[in-house]
Protein backbone atom coordinates (compact mmCIF):
# COMPACT_ATOMS: atom_id res chain seq x y z
CA UNK A 1 0.00 0.00 0.00
CA UNK A 2 2.83 2.39 0.84
CA UNK A 3 4.59 1.57 -2.43
CA UNK A 4 1.53 2.75 -4.38
CA UNK A 5 1.55 6.18 -2.69
CA UNK A 6 4.87 7.33 -4.16
CA UNK A 7 3.92 6.77 -7.85
CA UNK A 8 0.51 8.36 -7.22
CA UNK A 9 2.11 11.46 -5.68
CA UNK A 10 4.60 11.68 -8.56
CA UNK A 11 1.74 11.48 -11.07
CA UNK A 12 -0.13 14.28 -9.29
CA UNK A 13 3.03 16.42 -9.14
CA UNK A 14 3.77 15.94 -12.85
CA UNK A 15 0.12 16.72 -13.70
CA UNK A 16 0.22 19.95 -11.69
CA UNK A 17 3.50 21.06 -13.29
CA UNK A 18 2.27 20.29 -16.81
CA UNK A 19 -1.11 21.90 -16.16
CA UNK A 20 0.51 25.07 -14.80
CA UNK A 21 3.08 25.41 -17.60
CA UNK A 22 2.68 23.53 -20.87
CA UNK A 23 -1.10 23.06 -20.91
CA UNK A 24 -2.15 26.24 -19.07
CA UNK A 25 -4.24 27.62 -21.98
CA UNK A 26 -6.10 24.34 -22.47
CA UNK A 27 -6.75 24.05 -18.72
CA UNK A 28 -8.00 27.66 -18.55
CA UNK A 29 -10.28 27.08 -21.54
CA UNK A 30 -11.68 23.87 -20.03
CA UNK A 31 -12.35 25.63 -16.72
CA UNK A 32 -14.18 28.59 -18.34
CA UNK A 33 -17.68 29.26 -17.10
CA UNK A 34 -20.41 27.68 -19.22
CA UNK A 35 -23.83 29.21 -19.50
CA UNK A 36 -26.54 26.61 -18.98
CA UNK A 37 -30.22 27.18 -19.65
CA UNK A 38 -32.70 24.89 -17.92
CA UNK A 39 -35.36 23.73 -20.39
CA UNK A 40 -37.79 22.12 -17.92
CA UNK A 41 -39.37 25.38 -16.64
CA UNK A 42 -42.93 26.59 -16.14
CA UNK A 43 -44.42 29.90 -17.35
CA UNK A 44 -42.78 31.82 -14.44
CA UNK A 45 -39.32 30.38 -15.14
CA UNK A 46 -39.34 28.01 -12.15
CA UNK A 47 -38.11 24.45 -12.60
CA UNK A 48 -41.02 22.01 -12.94
CA UNK A 49 -41.26 19.33 -10.29
CA UNK A 50 -43.54 16.33 -10.07
CA UNK A 51 -44.14 15.87 -6.35
CA UNK A 52 -45.07 18.74 -4.10
CA UNK A 53 -46.02 19.17 -0.46
CA UNK A 54 -44.97 17.39 2.70
CA UNK A 55 -44.69 13.62 2.88
CA UNK A 56 -46.73 11.85 5.56
CA UNK A 57 -44.41 9.36 7.30
CA UNK A 58 -45.52 7.04 10.10
CA UNK A 59 -43.10 4.75 11.93
CA UNK A 60 -44.94 1.78 13.36
CA UNK A 61 -41.94 -0.04 14.88
CA UNK A 62 -38.21 0.19 15.22
CA UNK A 63 -35.94 -2.28 13.45
CA UNK A 64 -34.94 -5.30 15.48
CA UNK A 65 -31.39 -4.73 16.72
CA UNK A 66 -29.76 -7.31 18.92
CA UNK A 67 -27.06 -5.98 21.18
CA UNK A 68 -24.11 -8.33 21.53
CA UNK A 69 -22.95 -8.96 25.08
CA UNK A 70 -19.21 -9.30 25.37
CA UNK A 71 -18.08 -12.35 27.31
CA UNK A 72 -14.39 -12.39 26.31
CA UNK A 73 -11.80 -9.64 26.53
CA UNK A 74 -8.19 -9.21 25.45
CA UNK A 75 -5.87 -6.38 26.46
CA UNK A 76 -2.18 -6.08 25.57
CA UNK A 77 0.48 -3.53 24.63
CA UNK A 78 2.48 -3.57 21.40
CA UNK A 79 5.69 -1.64 20.70
CA UNK A 80 7.71 -1.27 17.50
CA UNK A 81 10.55 0.85 16.14
CA UNK A 82 10.35 3.36 13.30
CA UNK A 83 8.93 1.75 10.14
CA UNK A 84 8.67 -1.58 11.96
CA UNK A 85 5.75 -3.75 12.98
CA UNK A 86 4.86 -5.92 15.97
CA UNK A 87 2.12 -8.53 16.31
CA UNK A 88 0.36 -10.25 19.20
CA UNK A 89 -1.45 -13.57 18.84
CA UNK A 90 -4.61 -13.71 20.95
CA UNK A 91 -4.68 -17.50 20.99
CA UNK A 92 -8.29 -18.40 20.22
CA UNK A 93 -10.34 -16.51 17.67
CA UNK A 94 -12.32 -13.72 19.32
CA UNK A 95 -15.52 -12.60 17.57
CA UNK A 96 -14.83 -8.95 18.29
CA UNK A 97 -17.61 -6.37 18.56
CA UNK A 98 -15.58 -3.49 20.07
CA UNK A 99 -11.98 -2.39 19.48
CA UNK A 100 -10.16 0.15 21.64
CA UNK A 101 -6.68 1.58 21.20
CA UNK A 102 -5.01 3.86 23.74
CA UNK A 103 -3.18 7.03 22.78
CA UNK A 104 -0.24 6.09 20.56
CA UNK A 105 2.94 7.05 22.43
CA UNK A 106 6.10 8.19 20.66
CA UNK A 107 4.63 10.20 17.82
CA UNK A 108 3.33 13.70 17.32
CA UNK A 109 1.69 13.18 13.93
CA UNK A 110 -2.06 12.78 13.43
CA UNK A 111 -1.85 9.19 12.19
CA UNK A 112 0.98 7.62 14.11
CA UNK A 113 0.50 3.97 13.29
CA UNK A 114 -1.44 1.44 11.30
CA UNK A 115 -3.44 -1.17 13.21
CA UNK A 116 -3.93 -4.56 11.54
CA UNK A 117 -6.31 -7.31 12.60
CA UNK A 118 -5.91 -10.85 11.25
CA UNK A 119 -7.79 -14.15 11.35
CA UNK A 120 -6.13 -17.37 10.25
CA UNK A 121 -3.20 -15.50 8.70
CA UNK A 122 -5.42 -13.26 6.55
CA UNK A 123 -6.02 -9.59 7.17
CA UNK A 124 -9.65 -8.86 8.10
CA UNK A 125 -9.44 -5.19 9.17
CA UNK A 126 -6.87 -2.39 8.97
CA UNK A 127 -6.97 1.33 9.73
CA UNK A 128 -4.80 4.36 10.48
CA UNK A 129 -4.70 4.93 14.22
CA UNK A 130 -4.96 8.57 15.28
CA UNK A 131 -2.28 9.56 17.80
CA UNK A 132 -5.08 10.26 20.31
CA UNK A 133 -6.29 6.63 20.08
CA UNK A 134 -9.69 5.32 19.04
CA UNK A 135 -12.71 3.29 20.11
CA UNK A 136 -14.41 1.43 17.27
CA UNK A 137 -17.78 -0.28 17.76
CA UNK A 138 -18.18 -2.80 14.93
CA UNK A 139 -21.58 -3.21 13.21
CA UNK A 140 -21.16 -6.99 13.26
CA UNK A 141 -18.71 -9.29 15.08
CA UNK A 142 -15.33 -9.63 13.39
CA UNK A 143 -13.28 -12.83 13.96
CA UNK A 144 -9.77 -11.82 15.11
CA UNK A 145 -6.90 -14.02 16.34
CA UNK A 146 -3.91 -11.68 15.85
CA UNK A 147 -3.38 -7.92 16.18
CA UNK A 148 -0.50 -5.86 14.85
CA UNK A 149 0.82 -2.32 14.88
CA UNK A 150 2.96 -0.75 12.14
CA UNK A 151 4.79 2.37 13.32
CA UNK A 152 5.52 5.16 10.91
CA UNK A 153 8.31 7.75 11.23
CA UNK A 154 9.09 7.10 14.89
CA UNK A 155 8.96 4.28 17.41
CA UNK A 156 5.55 3.85 18.99
CA UNK A 157 3.57 1.75 21.42
CA UNK A 158 -0.12 1.47 22.23
CA UNK A 159 -2.46 -0.63 24.35
CA UNK A 160 -5.11 -2.59 22.45
CA UNK A 161 -8.39 -3.79 23.94
CA UNK A 162 -10.81 -6.19 22.26
CA UNK A 163 -14.26 -7.19 23.48
CA UNK A 164 -16.42 -9.92 22.01
CA UNK A 165 -17.40 -13.57 22.30
**26-54: pLDDT as tens digits:** 766 776 666 677 888 888 888 887 766 77
Supply the pTM of this predicted model.
0.53
CATH class of 72-164: mainly beta
What are the extents of the domains in the chain?
A: 72-164
Q: How many percent of the chain have pLDDT more than 90?
A: 0
Task: Report the relative pairing of strands 85-101 and 134-151 from DSSP bridges.
Answer: antiparallel
Q: Is the pLDDT of residue 67 over 50?
A: no
Residue 28 is predicted with a pLDDT of: 67
Amino acid sequence: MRRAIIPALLLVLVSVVLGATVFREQVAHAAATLLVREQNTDANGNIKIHEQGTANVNVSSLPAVRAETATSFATFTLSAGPFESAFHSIGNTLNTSLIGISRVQGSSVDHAALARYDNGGSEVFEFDVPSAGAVIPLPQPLPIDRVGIVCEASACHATFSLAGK
